[in-house]
């Protein structure tokens, strides 16, 4: 994790309990050891560098598979006794990773690990899953519920999403991104399911009452923080076939740096990033977090980005409005180079990891 630009002492995400370098090192060791390539009759994987979804050609179709958990947001759900929101998150975070490669979701399996299964909690989780499935237009194909009280405290919640590239559609991986392209952002619905280890640490230290609203709002802080992840898979499905649509980014853990994952021959200049919703500034001030760390940890109001040819901007806007995203707006442009910059804030990120 890069050091904060600000001179004053800032809380780093590592200090809040997540050390990404250790994780990266361990993961690299696992991936080196796990290398095996199956014969073509058993699927032909396709490299999708910079993407979370894996892509495989199987039979006559190209498929995408991705898995993710809700992470420590479940601890907030537990504290508030509200499980529907994270149920919806479990679907949304996965179909959004499918969306980032242009795949259409065709099935979900969920995984719940728990100490004690409770019908009321599970019913709320189920309602949340249903909301997520409806938003993604995708069926629940199965799942696993494991009672493992010696391993899990409370509940861990994750899912895996299967997607397909409809006939004639190639995966949208970012290879066609070039200088002059525009970056269009679709707003988020809050923190989605990222950065909650840091969020919770800040709330605890500041002794925030989650049942009360922030100044100037009516909804409780708890409800604001739990708000489920917006689903972008319909948007990507509508836009993936449009000529001039060069890349999609799910703005998940890593914040704006998720754009850098799309290309190592492009610099994403985010010179028109809209002011983040007040919730983000409130948390920044409460925790004394630098702007740099805010933008590299949270989605800062934009949950999904599209990189499109300048000539396609009109058609993209039109389709976005029809696909349920009339709130999308241009947030930047592509230059030659690498990394991500936010000129109005003087921020520059070398890449996804730096």
Alpha-carbon torsion (151, 155, 158, 159), positive or negative: positive
Tell me: does residue 99 bind its own copies (CB under 8 A).
no
Identify which of 2, 12, 6, 3 has the alpha carbon closest to the alpha carbon of residue 345.
Answer: 6
Tell me: does residue 167 bind its own copies (CB under 8 A).
yes
Alpha-carbon torsion (131, 134, 137, 142), positive or negative: positive
- Between 278-287 and 196-205, two packed helices, what is the crossing angle to 10 degrees? 60
Identify which of 134, 336, 156 has the alpha carbon closest to the alpha carbon of residue 233.
Answer: 134
Q: Answer yes or no: are the C-beta atoms of 163 and 48 closer than 8 Å.
A: no
Least distance (Å) from its own copies to the CB of residue 46? 9
Tell me: does residue 7 bind its own copies (CB under 8 A).
no
38 or 170: whose CB is closer to its own copies?
38
Least distance (Å) from its own copies to the CB of residue 227? 20
Residue in 29, 206, 219, 336 binding its own copies, rule: CB under 8 A: 29
Tell me: does residue 53 bind its own copies (CB under 8 A).
yes
Tell me: does residue 254 bind its own copies (CB under 8 A).
no
Identify which of 138, 181, 129, 136 has the alpha carbon closest to the alpha carbon of residue 158.
Answer: 129
Tell me: does residue 218 bind its own copies (CB under 8 A).
no
Tell me: does residue 8 bind its own copies (CB under 8 A).
no
How far is the C-alpha of 273 from the C-alpha of 329, rounded, in Å? 9
How far is the C-alpha of 157 from the C-alpha of 228, rounded, in Å? 14
Tell me: does residue 170 bind its own copies (CB under 8 A).
no
Least distance (Å) from its own copies to the CB of residue 260? 19
How far is the C-alpha of 170 from the C-alpha of 282, rounded, in Å? 42
Strand partners, 67: 160
Least distance (Å) from its own copies to the CB of residue 266? 23
How far is the C-alpha of 209 from the C-alpha of 230, rounded, in Å? 25
Least distance (Å) from its own copies to the CB of residue 196? 10
Least distance (Å) from its own copies to the CB of residue 239? 16
Least distance (Å) from its own copies to the CB of residue 199? 13
104 or 333: whose CB is closer to its own copies?
104
Tell me: does residue 102 bind its own copies (CB under 8 A).
no
115 or 281: whose CB is closer to its own copies?
115
| Contact window for its own copies (CB under 8 A) among 23-31, 208-216, 325-333, 337-345 | 23-31
Q: DSSP characters for 248-263?
A: EEE--TTGGGGGGGG-
Residue in 86, 89, 102, 158 binding its own copies, rule: CB under 8 A: 158
Residue 269 tokens read as 């200049």
Angle at 158 between CA 27 and CA 120, to 5 degrees: 150
Of 58-77, binders to its own copies (CB under 8 A) are 58-61, 63, 65-69, 71-72, 74-75
Tell me: does residue 265 bind its own copies (CB under 8 A).
no
How many residues are there in the chain? Answer: 354
Tell me: does residue 119 bind its own copies (CB under 8 A).
yes
Binding mask 322-351 for its own copies (x = CB under 8 A): ------------------------------
């Amino acid at each position: 994790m890069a050091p904060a630009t600000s001179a004053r002492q800032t809380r780093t995400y590592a200090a809040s309990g997540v050390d990404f370098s250790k994780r990266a090192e361990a993961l690299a060791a696992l991936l080196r050891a796990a290398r095996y390539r199956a014969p073509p009759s058993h699927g032909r994987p396709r490299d999708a560098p910079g993407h979370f979804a894996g892509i495989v050609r199987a039979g006559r179709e190209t498929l995408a598979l991705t898995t993710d958990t809700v992470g420590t947001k479940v601890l907030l759900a537990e504290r508030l006794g509200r499980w529907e929101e994270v149920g919806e998150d479990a679907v949304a975070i996965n179909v959004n990773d499918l969306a980032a490669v242009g795949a259409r979701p065709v099935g979900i399996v969920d995984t719940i690990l728990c100490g004690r299964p409770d019908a009321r909690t599970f019913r709320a989780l189920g309602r949340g899953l249903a909301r997520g499935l409806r938003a993604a237009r995708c069926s629940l194909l199965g799942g696993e519920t494991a009672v493992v009280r010696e391993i899990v405290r409370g509940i861990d919640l994750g899912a895996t999403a299967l997607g397909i590239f409809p006939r004639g559609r190639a995966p949208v991986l970012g290879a066609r991104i070039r200088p002059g392209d525009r970056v269009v952002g679709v707003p988020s619905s809050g923190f989605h399911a990222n950065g909650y280890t840091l969020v919770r640490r800040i709330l605890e230290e500041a002794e925030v009452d989650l049942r009360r609203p922030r100044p100037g709002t009516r909804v409780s802080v708890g409800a604001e923080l739990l708000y489920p992840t917006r689903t972008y898979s319909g948007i990507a499905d509508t836009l993936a076939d449009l000529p001039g649509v060069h890349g999609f980014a799910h703005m998940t853990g890593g914040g704006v740096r998720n754009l850098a994952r799309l290309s190592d021959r492009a610099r994403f200049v985010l010179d028109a990033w809209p002011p983040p919703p007040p919730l983000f500034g409130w948390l920044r001030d409460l925790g004394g977090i630098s702007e740099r760390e805010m933008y590299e940890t949270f989605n800062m109001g934009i949950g999904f980005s599209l990189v499109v040819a300048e000539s396609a901007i009109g058609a993209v806007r039109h389709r976005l409005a029809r696909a349920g995203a009339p709130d999308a707006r241009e947030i930047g442009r592509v230059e030659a180079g690498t990394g991500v910059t936010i000129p109005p804030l003087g921020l520059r990120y070398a890449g996804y990891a730096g």
